[in-house]
């Protein structure tokens, strides 16, 4: 079974993202607007059990935090993705670093972790250019509190569902 770890912004942020994702993100129907914390991969039962124990420990040691999305950005030309970017990504980077230790340590990262909410992907270079030219002119000022980590499980149809939630509990 394939598992991944994400956080979900509040409904206000999800609705703003979904207005753009509906037409431009082929994964829109598979998972709500989210920020990936650790990429998905197949896990055996032992790894799932170790991951759950690890996520419980991480969530008990972390406090909820607030983040603000302040612009639309792009990974182009490395990847044909447009996304909502964070004003200060450091709280999400710290969360990622906390999670990606122990049994969830990453052997080799393919890229630098950049927390974001994907708005559009799998577009041509021309489509990326056109959308980015328009979307980057829109003001973005959306704040949300991150107070839980979600362990997701992918179904055989490709949709993602919540397998387990871990609330950030440190006062």
Point out the catalytic residue in the list 24, 54, 96, 116. 116
**Mean pLDDT of the region 58-63:** 96
The domain ranges of the chain are 2-167
Q: Which class for 61: exposed (0-12), middle (13-18), buried (19 or more C-beta within 10 A)?
A: exposed
* pLDDT classification of 170: cutoffs 50, 70, 90: confident
Point out the catalytic residue in the list 24, 28, 34, 96. 34
Per CATH, the architecture of 2-167 is what?
A: Alpha-Beta Complex (3.90)
pLDDT for residue 131 is more than 80: yes
Cβ-Cβ contacts under 8 Å for 72 (sequence gap 6 or more): 82, 83, 84, 85, 119, 132, 135, 136, 138, 140
Put simply, whether the predicted model's pTM sits higher than 0.85 gets the answer: yes
- In the prediction, which pLDDT does 136 show? 87
**24 carries an active-site annotation:** no
pLDDT for residue 23 is more than 90: yes
Q: Which class for 126: exposed (0-12), middle (13-18), buried (19 or more C-beta within 10 A)?
A: exposed
**34 carries an active-site annotation:** yes
d(CA 21, CA 147): 24
Q: Of 84, 90, 92, whose CA–CA distance to 120 is shortest? A: 84
Cβ-Cβ contacts under 8 Å for 73 (sequence gap 6 or more): 82, 83, 84, 85, 116, 136
* pLDDT classification of 27: cutoffs 50, 70, 90: very high
pLDDT tens digits, residue range 90-117?
999 999 999 999 999 988 777 899 999 9
* Contact yes or no for 102/54 (Cβ under 8 A): yes
d(CA 165, CA 34): 14
């Amino acid at each position: 079974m394939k598992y991944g770890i994400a956080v979900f912004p509040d409904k206000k942020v999800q609705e703003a993202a979904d207005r753009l994702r509906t037409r431009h993100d082929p994964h829109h129907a598979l998972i709500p607007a989210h920020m990936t914390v650790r990429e998905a991969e197949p896990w055996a039962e032992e790894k799932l059990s170790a991951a759950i124990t690890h996520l419980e420990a991480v969530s008990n040691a972390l406090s909820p935090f607030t983040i603000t999305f302040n612009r639309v950005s792009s990974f182009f030309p490395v990847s044909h993705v447009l996304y909502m970017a964070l004003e200060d990504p450091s709280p999400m980077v710290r969360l990622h670093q906390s999670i990606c230790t122990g049994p969830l340590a990453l052997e080799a990262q393919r890229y630098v972790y950049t927390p974001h909410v994907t708005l559009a992907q799998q577009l041509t270079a021309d489509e990326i250019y056109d959308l980015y030219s328009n979307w980057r002119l829109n003001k973005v000022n959306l704040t949300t509190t991150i107070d839980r980590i979600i362990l997701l499980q992918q179904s055989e149809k490709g949709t993602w569902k919540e397998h387990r939630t871990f609330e950030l509990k440190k006062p």
